[in-house]
């Protein structure tokens, strides 16, 4: 079946270091991808999105990379801060289809 998944359940990084969160997707028809951040007791918060006609998109301290050849998505966070500690989800969709979320990875920032 089609799925979106994350390679690692947890990621621990030192404050100030860069973080890389990876995601694999299996639906080759997917053309829209989003990263969400979810803090405890809150709903997911949009971080950055990318469409399949791009392979890289940058935001403030975040970069999303898309490799359609191997169906891989990554989120890079520069100079990770304690406030970045949360669960991160990748989500994907195809044309006019609902978002499918991955299982989530916990990012823990060590002071």
* Coil/strand/helix, residue 95: coil
Output the smallest distance, CB 52 to another protein, in A.
Answer: 12
In this chain, which of 8, 10, 43, 69 binds another protein, going by CB under 8 A? 43
For another protein, which residue of 13, 24, 27, 49 counts as binding (CB under 8 A)? 49
Burial of 68 (0-12, 13-18, 19+ CB in 10 A): middle
**CA–CA distance, 6 with 88 (Å, rounded to integer):** 10
Residue 32 touches another protein, criterion: CB under 8 A: yes
Strand-pair category, 10-14 with 105-110: parallel
Question: Should residue 75 be labelled a site residue for another protein when binding is judged by CB under 8 A?
Answer: no
Q: How far is the CB of 21 from another protein (least distance, A)?
A: 13
| Distance in angstroms (rounded) separating the CA atoms of residues 48 and 61 | 11
* Chain residues in the site for another protein (CB under 8 A): 4, 32, 34, 41-46, 49, 89, 91, 93-94, 96-104
């Amino acid at each position: 079946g089609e799925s979106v998944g994350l390679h690692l359940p947890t990621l621990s990084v030192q404050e100030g270091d860069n973080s890389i969160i990876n995601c694999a997707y299996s639906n080759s028809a997917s053309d829209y991808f989003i990263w969400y951040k979810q803090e405890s007791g809150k709903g997911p918060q949009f971080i950055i999105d990318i469409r399949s006609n791009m392979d890289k998109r940058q935001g403030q301290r975040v970069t999303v990379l898309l490799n359609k050849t191997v169906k891989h998505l990554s989120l890079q966070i520069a100079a990770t801060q304690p406030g970045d500690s949360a669960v991160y989800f990748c989500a994907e969709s195809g044309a006019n289809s609902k978002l499918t979320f991955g299982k989530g990875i916990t990012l823990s920032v060590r002071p």
